[in-house]
Amino acid sequence: MPIPLFALALCAFAIGTTEFVIMGLLPEMAADLQVSLPAAGYLVSGYALGVTIGAPILASVTSRIAPKRALSLLMVIFIIGNLMCALSSNYSLLMLSRVVTSFAHGSFFGLGAVVATSLVAKEKQASAIALMFTGLTLANVIGVPAGTLLGQNFGWRATFFGVTLIGVMSLAAILYWLPKAIKTSDGAKEDSAALWRSLPVWLAFATTVIFSASTFAVFTFIAPILRDLSGISPRGVAGVLLLIGVGLALGNLLGGKLADRSVMAALRTIFSALGVVLLVFMYTSHYPVAAIVTVFLWGMAAFAAVPALQMNVMNKAASAPILASTMNIGAFNLGNALGAFGGGAVLSLNFGLSGIPLLGAILAFLALACALLGAGLDQKVARANAAALCAD
């Protein structure tokens, strides 16, 4: 794989750390800010909604400048946002800072995915996206556990100071390694109108949203589940988060290989596995060892879907790949927000922490149904096109 992909992966590591580290620090942040656990969970929703709203706005701005300059600008926004988080003195200011940080997220991954595919042969494009997203998964292996321990020992603000430093290093990698001339399309202007009219594309977005809601309903409250249901100590939670991160990294690479062969077959297999694992987690969450094994498998299943979902949208939106790729990152984060909100609603309605994996399982099977519906529509469109060609 080309070296510039590793610069993208380093940036993904920084972005992933700031996105996910809050999961391990949720109880500490709630106590320090004097808010309830569901209210602290809304910091996850605020970030995710910021990605969803900011992605198309910044995509329209950055589409007018060279990819290297655009990615550098997005990392500057990321650095400023994390520094604001570290300096936040109250819940409202922290929420605003998280939203500012989130604006860089969607556009970076959207443009970065297209840049990644432009650097490799067509048969390796899903693996190239998976390599970039490996930075996101390694954030869960290294960044989140380290950030959690840092926050537990020196306060959660210290974690965001650390992420700010990683952001500076990531910006330097982009400036040094990424080539100035990057061809992200065949030169034709993106047809956004065709994108908005395409039902298959909207079904692909919907599949991403539902999958992501399933994952983040559980991920947002994974620390309380492990502490209160599984009986794992706060320090032990950091170790389990490390193990989950290993599962995410392995699943991401496996998902890239599966999607290189067949995107739809990969989605069918992964969503089915995800739903089953979450149903099992409803019961194993009450036993420490069984819970640890289950969340490792859950992490693998969850991130195995990411390369396939990104390729699913890009394949169906050939008229506007950069916009579609960016919008799909927004779809991921809309799902994140809905999942975090859904998990909080489960707690507010007194279904308890064990009800959250059940919600995740239901959403995983809904994502499978949506993906199958999209595949059926693709076949119908293909048959119609073939009939039209025969008629001509």
Per residue in 175-211, pLDDT (tens digit) is 988 888 776 654 445 566 667 777 888 999 999 999 9
Alpha carbons 314 and 311: distance in angstroms, whole number: 5
CA 105, distance to chain mean position in Å, is 9
pLDDT at site 134: 86
Alpha carbons 114 and 325: distance in angstroms, whole number: 7
pLDDT at site 279: 96
Alpha carbons 130 and 309: distance in angstroms, whole number: 11
Output DSSP code: residue 188.
Answer: P
- Non-local (6+) Cβ contacts of 373 within 8 A are 203
Domain 4-179+194-391 CATH assignment equals 1.20.200.10: no
pTM of the model: 0.76
**Residue 333 pLDDT > 80, yes or no?**
no
Q: How many residues does the chain have?
A: 392
Residue with tokens 């995410």: 248
Q: How far is CA 325 from CA 56, 107, 125, 180, 347, in A?
A: 10, 9, 13, 21, 33
pLDDT at site 164: 96
pLDDT, tens digit, for every residue of 6-61?
999 999 999 999 988 887 788 888 889 888 887 888 888 788 788 888 878 887 78
Q: How confident is the model at residue 381 (pLDDT cuts 50, 70, 90)?
A: low
DSSP notation for 216-275: HHHHTTHHHIIIIIS---HHHHHHHHHHHHHHHHHHHHHHHHHHHH-HHHHHHHHHHHHH
**Residue 341 pLDDT > 90, yes or no?**
no
Environment class of 237 (CB within 10 Å of its CB; exposed 0-12, middle 13-18, buried 19+): buried
Output DSSP code: residue 291.
Answer: H
Mean pLDDT of the chain: 86
Q: Where are the domains of the chain?
A: 4-179+194-391
pLDDT at site 377: 81
Amino acid letter, residue 358: L
Helix orientation angle between 288-316 and 355-391, rounded to the nearest 10 degrees: 20
Of 55-64, 94-103, 272-281, which range is least confident?
Answer: 55-64
- Measuring CA to CA, which residue among 94, 48, 19 is closest to residue 342? 48
Alpha carbons 267 and 137: distance in angstroms, whole number: 19
Environment class of 155 (CB within 10 Å of its CB; exposed 0-12, middle 13-18, buried 19+): middle
Alpha carbons 240 and 269: distance in angstroms, whole number: 25
Amino acid letter, residue 207: T
